[in-house]
Amino acid sequence: MSYHTTPPPDSAMGFDMPFLQWRTPSPSGLVPLTPQNGPPSVVEICPSMLSDPRRTIITAPSHTSSPYTPRSSLSKTSVLPNSSINLPCQDSYELRTLFLNHQIQLGFYLRDTKWQAVRSGDLSGRVIHPAVVYVAQLVGCFLWKLRHKTDVLVLSEDIEIRNVLNAVEALPPDPATLVMIYTVLGEYLLFKQQRELGRDYLVRASRVLAPQDLQLAAPSLEGLSSHTEPDEDTKEYLSAMAQLLYIDKATSMVLRLPFFLNAEYDRQLRSITIMQPWLARHSAIVMRCKSIWILREAMRLSQIRAAAASESKSSARLETALPVEWYTQYWETLEDAAQHVAVLYPQMLQASLTDFQQTLCLKVCIIVALAAQIELHRMPGYYHVESRQRAMCVIVEVIRLIRGLKEEDYALLEPTLGICFTIIANTLREDQSVRLELPPDCGPPQDTLSVLITVATQLSLKLPYVEPALHTLHELAATN
């Protein structure tokens, strides 16, 4: 079984609010808003919410912001004054639930009791740190606006991010929770295309991680042989760390930002397969982290080879110019990619019976690992027939996977897919024979490009940072 949390049934909302003030809604149920008065200190909602204890009126804290509070970097939440807009009334409960529905995409794991505490908005601190509840409401606001294409909300993102940081300052969380909070804040800001501020929070998460490291202790021989499921603390801790490692690689590849974690964490990530075999086969977060690591290794090896090629005048000289260590790493990475895909496919098929979000995440993991294989096979492909044929087969495999995507899937995917599509496009552009060898059931090369362009276009409408890949695909299509 893959480990994830099945949404529990609705539960009563218990609130203990040390960081927020409460007010009773006005009799009218709505506060008139104008462009002049800016974001309100109290956002009041439709009268039907007044009898529902989950539908809450929240105001900003009366105390000043902490030193960590972003100022002008965060955009103001604009509230449309047009009261005639027909939108479903949402509440903080609904926003938190939306956040939890994206938990695999955001890359965190919570045990059932914490999951329910976040969903119910429990700010007592007895089960979950209050900052996690505020993070859920913050990201839920953003996801709600994307889904409904509106800025009409019961909560302000500016207020919620202050609540997060004030809660962290008032009561520092444990390392795993703090890494999770800063990582999700970083992802949220990167999705809003606030790169510098987003990376700043990711760096803060790495500073929390630095004195902790992954703390991977070798399990007993019995644990190794039986693939024993780890305890909840281990799941939460290693999930938080794996997601930070994933974001480190993804931001470097997609945004070309410098790494904020050193190579020691890569070594420890590779050891998870031995130290935590159950997680390596059942955690979508850990498997996604391994996929991006394999792709990064393939691209690194490709860059080394390209640099050597620029200094060599013939393929024979190129092959002798590369050090022995390069070849050792090349074959190890190719083997890692093949073994990882072999693990991912059965997990995806199993998840497809019960868990839609887990299935999509694992499909992305497979595509990323396949893109690594394409990059690796592409390097010797111009003179090695078997590598060229294998690159062609893997491209076909990726096309078959992405053809099954539906419109509602794209918001749950990853910007790293843009890198994968660019690798395929470059392979098709550089090697005409690959296009000629595509099998009939894949269609002509133009059909392959058409599928990639269609998927990349849909992806760019839902996620940022996909436009460069789309531009590359259009350029390739124009030359054909």
pLDDT at residue 412, as a whole number:
86
Q: Which residues contact 324 (CB under 8 A, 6 or more apart)?
A: none
Structure tokens at 441: 């059931």
pLDDT at residue 379, as a whole number:
86
- State pLDDT tens for residues 218-269: 444 454 444 688 889 989 988 998 999 999 999 999 999 889 888 888 887 7
Under the banding of pLDDT at 50, 70 and 90, the label for residue 303 is: very high
pLDDT at residue 423, as a whole number:
94
Cα–Cα distance measured from residue 266 to residue 269, given in angstroms and rounded to the nearest whole number:
5
Q: Which residues contact 11 (CB under 8 A, 6 or more apart)?
A: 116, 119, 120
Cα–Cα distance measured from residue 446 to residue 428, given in angstroms and rounded to the nearest whole number:
11
Under the banding of pLDDT at 50, 70 and 90, the label for residue 71 is: very low
pLDDT at residue 367, as a whole number:
97
User: What is the C-alpha R_g of the chain?
Assistant: 24
Structure tokens at 141: 């606001």
Min mean pLDDT across 146-150, 182-186, 334-338 is at 146-150
| Three-point CA angle 173, 175, 177, nearest 5° | 60
Domain positions in the chain are 1-62+86-173, 283-478
Cα–Cα distance measured from residue 369 to residue 276, given in angstroms and rounded to the nearest whole number:
20
- State pLDDT tens for residues 435-477: 555 555 555 556 788 899 999 999 999 889 999 999 988 988 8
pTM of the model: 0.77
- State pLDDT tens for residues 397-417: 999 999 989 888 898 899 999
pLDDT at residue 376, as a whole number:
95
Q: Which residues contact 281 (CB under 8 A, 6 or more apart)?
A: 227, 287, 343, 347
> In the block, which residue shows the tokens 């090369």?
445
Give me the helix-helix angle, 324-351 and 284-310, nearest 10°. Answer: 150
Burial class (CB in 10 A: 0-12, 13-18, 19+), 149: exposed
Cα–Cα distance measured from residue 346 to residue 350, given in angstroms and rounded to the nearest whole number:
6
Q: How would you classify residue 100: left for phi > 0, otherwise alpha for psi between -120 and 50, otherwise beta?
A: alpha
Check pLDDT > 80 for residue 41. Answer: no
